[in-house]
Structure 1
Amino acid sequence: MAARGCGKTTWHAAAVVSAVVTAAAILAAVFPAAEAAADVFQERLTVPMTIVADAALTGAVCLDGSSPAYHLHRGSGAGARNWLLQFEGGGWCNDVRSCAERAVTRRGSTRLMTKVEVFSGILSNLQAMNPDFYNWNRVKLRYCDGGSFYGDSAYRNGSSVLYFRGHRIWDVIITDLLQKGLAKAEQVLLSGCSAGGLATFFHCDNLKERLGSATTVKCLSDAGFFLDLSDISGNSNIRQFFSSLVSLQGVQKNLNKDCQNSTDYPYLCFFPQYALPYIRTPYFILNSAYDVYQFHHIFVPPSSDPRGQWSHCKMDPGACSTSQIATLQGLRTAMLTSLKQIEDETEIGMFINSCFAHCQSELQDTWFAPNSPMIHDKKIAEVIGDWYFERGASKEIDCAYPCDSTCHNLIPSDQNGISSAQSGHRFSSISIPRQMIIYMYILIIALKFI
């Protein structure tokens, strides 16, 4: 009896294996994306951290006094003399308490950061996943200052010191990279996500100045176009937040002088919409018109919704009422109005879609994949590539929500206020990943064979 049971089990196992192999073959033929997705997963690129050892000599340190760091993956072939520098994002801190809390997390100390980072999306080394920049030298600058790489001050907090040295961190990392080949770069793209996307506006001209006229320098801000916007109750929390950040972290001395001369409130130059006229280097703005960070923390922060009437809408755009959707159109209108000042600038590009998302260049599914978001049949990576290499139209603005069926609506898993951004953001998609669907199909077909 035991022998017969074993034989039956073996037969079932063989059948399952055969079914899975057969199903995979069928799916590979019917759904080419399945094979591509599997390849990407198997070839995941991880890049070790490089600490800037002598940074402390110039005071270029993280909030807790640790040395700054970056991750570098070398380019090859035709891309060996080209560089892509990516600012890490992760919110800000604007007062002593939030900065002290941040200093003992990975957002304020390289001692607590992951020592290996996964490079995907715009940082991928696969041509099929990153057609224009895959073979460039690609660098991720770690974020540990809480001020978009732009502060320059310190605060003694009891027996410890909080260091707001973002601008110095930027300077020492670039100095280190210049010695590693950046000085001989032919083409450079400075990019960043969220608070890192904001940093690209601040440092775009500085990088161009340091590299000189022989190097083509352009900049990409992903989800960094933070609006000077009142919330639904009429309060301007983000103005108060940025004002205190600029003051505490000593940012004002680094803000564009022409911008500061144009306003009675210099801290406003921390907002991109006021800084744009003074940026001389070509740049590209990648943003959702319904950016979920701005939706949740600036336009409809918890303080403006004490009864939680927006809770379901925040977690699922499909649960928003007609009146809430109408209100959200005000966020899109504010963004498009702010961008109108650059609509005729030929060197400036943009991709403003109608997806509920925040940061789309670092995620493979949104950057360049079979089902990536599109405007006029062009994916984000394609439009940015066309802009950088001057191959074609570089300004794409989506129709209003909910018209775009290509969207990946990415919803943050936390519902805290602006200052909680010190911990970064975790996002979950309300749609099932295609890899999961593929595996489900394989399992279903396998079971039918048994």
Structure 2
Amino acid sequence: MFDYYDLGSMMMMVTESLQLVVLLVCCLTIITINCANATQNPNIYSVNPTIVHSAVSKGAVCLDGSPPAYYFEPGFGDGAENWIVHLSGGAWCMNVTNCQERATSSNGSSKKMGQLNFQGIHSKNESQNPDFYNWNKVLVAYCDGGSFIGDSEYIDPTNNSTKNLQFRGQKIFYAVLEEVLEKGLKNAKNAILAGSSAGGYPAILYCDYFRDSLPIKSRVKCLVDSGYFVHFKNPVLERFWSWRYGGVAALQGAAKTLPKSCTSKMKAELVQTVPLLDCLYAENIQEYTKTPFFLYMSAFDNIETQYTLGDEKYTTIDEGKGSACLNASLREMRSDFLNAIPKGNDPKHRGVFIDAMHHHTSLISRWSFEVAIEINNVSAPIAFADWYFDRKYRYLIDEIHTMPIKNTFKNVTYVH
């Protein structure tokens, strides 16, 4: 006999099963959409390295002898003929042991390089990066340990070839630039040579060469992001910088790569004792650079304070809990820094944005309007874009804060 109760129960089970299936389908659809959005996120997207195999025959290699590399994202729309070439940073190696360790990492070997997240000034989000979102973006991988200046070699005395070191940063720059020029940079309407941290110095050093590589009608300027480290007058504050730069200059063969306009002014005996040390400070080469450049940096750069005052002082400085002696050193460092940067009498050729937050580098993690630093209600991305496009020649310094402002956004310095 047919049982209506059993039929009702059966129908209810079928209905519940269908609802469960529909719910699962909806969840899977949402997950799929979210994954797709994450993949297509215009603020952050992954880029694979381009290995420049042809550079090896030109002597342009990383510390371990592997070919150099760069990361490339093509432009689109009305930005297809505009280019940013960005020299990445990642400190320096100052001695053979340090450089041999570095040669086993992505900062010394293209064999170790993988995907890289592009963001900040490389973002494709028009609302957060309106002036550069659709430009061609090139980030030159930093694998020479010496700010792209070197042209020398270290041969290990044990004849163990795995320990030999190649210091070919200058050749790396030329080789990568040559390849990128053929990709379309040589026809650029607008172009920027940028450099962050250890890449900031070569952004000044090669600024004119970059300008001369492009059509005369192109708008070409350079951007230095937290790479303008200065020579402190106080020998106690200066001692660690002299040690670092002295090591870099000796290893990298700086005598034949740095500009003669600077090196010719040094006495021969000084070159022997401190190999062209002074010419590794941006303040001593910027005066010879004809092409306009913009300096974006904190007067209390936290790599500057770390290397000068010691790692243990970082938290104390960031939280404003320094002793009277420490605070006096910070004021002295700020004074020397502001005296060493380009003067404000020609902002068309030397724009600046000098904030007081205790941080380092900004083009990657502080470029979006949500986290950008402001001076006089003008954000750094707007200040630079105004200056670059000749809308307004910005020369902005935070004159209000003579001590470091706490770093409220814990950005991480860019390395591969």
User: Could you state the TM-score of these two structures normalised by the residue count of structure 1?
Assistant: 0.77
CA distance in 2, matches of 1:183, 1:312: 46
Report the equivalent of 2:6: none
Q: Larger RCO: Structure 1 or Structure 2 (Cα < 8 Å, ≥ 6 residues apart)?
A: 1
Q: Within 5 Å, which residues of 2 pair with 1:347-426? A: 347-363=349-365, 366-401=366-401, 408=408, 410=410
CA distance in 1, matches of 2:371, 2:88: 25
Deviation at 1:412, TM superposition (A): 7.0
Report the equivalent of 2:327: 325
Amino acid at match of 1:269: C
CA distance in 2, matches of 1:226, 1:411: 19
5+ long unaligned stretches in structure 1? 1-6, 8-13, 15-37, 303-307, 414-423, 427-450
Does structure 1 retain, via aligned residues, the 8 Å contact 2:194–2:224? Answer: yes
Amino acid at match of 2:223: L
Q: 1:400 to 1:327 in 2, by over 3 A?
A: farther
The one of 204, 211, 216 equivalent to 2:214 is 211
Q: Within 5 Å, which residues of 2 pair with 1:224-239? A: 224-229=227-232, 233=236, 236-239=239-242
Deviation at 1:372, TM superposition (A): 2.3
CA distance in 2, matches of 1:375, 1:406: 15
Structural RMSD (CA): 3.0
The number of aligned residues is: 375
Does structure 2 retain, via aligned residues, the 8 Å contact 1:208–1:281? Answer: yes
Does structure 2 retain, via aligned residues, the 8 Å contact 1:292–1:411? Answer: no
Amino acid at match of 1:325: N
CA distance in 2, matches of 1:39, 1:108: 29
The one of 244, 248, 265 equivalent to 2:247 is 244
The one of 154, 167, 170 equivalent to 2:170 is 167
Farther-moved stretch of structure 1 (104-113 vs 38-47): 38-47
Q: 1:202 to 1:296 in 2, by over 3 A?
A: same
3-state secondary structure, aligned to 2:246 = helix
Does structure 1 retain, via aligned residues, the 8 Å contact 2:49–2:113? Answer: no
The higher radius of gyration belongs to: 2
Does structure 2 retain, via aligned residues, the 8 Å contact 1:45–1:118? Answer: yes
Report the equivalent of 1:260: 263
Task: Tell me, yes or no, if structure 1 residue 76 matches structure 2 residue 76.
Answer: yes
Deviation at 1:212, TM superposition (A): 3.9
5+ long unaligned stretches in structure 2? 1-15, 17-22, 24-37, 271-275
CA distance in 2, matches of 1:117, 1:412: 14
CA distance in 2, matches of 1:120, 1:411: 13
Does structure 1 retain, via aligned residues, the 8 Å contact 2:82–2:191? Answer: yes
Deviation at 1:106, TM superposition (A): 1.4
- Deviation string, structure 1 residues 181-200 (Cα, Å, up to 9, x no partner): 11111111010110011220
- Deviation string, structure 1 residues 371-391 (Cα, Å, up to 9, x no partner): 421001111100000010011
CA distance in 2, matches of 1:324, 1:411: 24
- Deviation string, structure 1 residues 137-177 (Cα, Å, up to 9, x no partner): 01111000001111001111231220000011111101111
CA distance in 2, matches of 1:386, 1:188: 15
Deviation at 1:369, TM superposition (A): 2.1
Deviation at 1:203, TM superposition (A): 1.1
3-state secondary structure, aligned to 2:84 = strand
- Deviation string, structure 1 residues 50-86 (Cα, Å, up to 9, x no partner): 1112111111110001111111111111111110011
Deviation at 1:214, TM superposition (A): 2.7
The one of 270, 277, 301 equivalent to 1:291 is 301
CA distance in 1, matches of 2:376, 2:404: 10
Task: Tell me, yes or no, if structure 1 residue 179 matches structure 2 residue 182.
Answer: yes
Report the equivalent of 1:10: none
Q: 1:349 to 1:258 in 2, by over 3 A?
A: same
Report the equivalent of 1:87: 87
CA distance in 1, matches of 2:194, 2:120: 12
Deviation at 1:44, TM superposition (A): 2.6
Q: 1:405 to 1:89 in 2, by over 3 A?
A: closer
3-state secondary structure, aligned to 1:133 = coil
3-state secondary structure, aligned to 1:199 = helix
Q: Within 5 Å, which residues of 2 pair with 1:64-143? A: 64-114=64-114, 116-143=115-142
- Deviation string, structure 1 residues 309-359 (Cα, Å, up to 9, x no partner): x36414x33333454333311111111011254643531110000000100
Report the equivalent of 1:149: 148
CA distance in 2, matches of 1:397, 1:311: 23
Amino acid at match of 1:125: K
CA distance in 1, matches of 2:94, 2:405: 38
Deviation at 1:42, TM superposition (A): 7.5
Q: 1:234 to 1:188 in 2, by over 3 A?
A: closer
The one of 292, 310, 313 equivalent to 1:301 is 310
Amino acid at match of 2:183: K
Deviation at 1:247, TM superposition (A): 1.7
3-state secondary structure, aligned to 1:241 = helix
Q: 1:342 to 1:256 in 2, by over 3 A?
A: farther
Q: 1:400 to 1:290 in 2, by over 3 A?
A: farther
Deviation at 1:234, TM superposition (A): 5.2
Deviation at 1:229, TM superposition (A): 2.1
Does structure 1 retain, via aligned residues, the 8 Å contact 2:72–2:137? Answer: yes
Does structure 2 retain, via aligned residues, the 8 Å contact 1:355–1:409? Answer: no
Task: Tell me, yes or no, if structure 1 residue 281 matches structure 2 residue 291.
Answer: yes
CA distance in 2, matches of 1:410, 1:67: 33
Report the equivalent of 1:31: none
Report the equivalent of 2:48: 48
Amino acid at match of 2:281: F
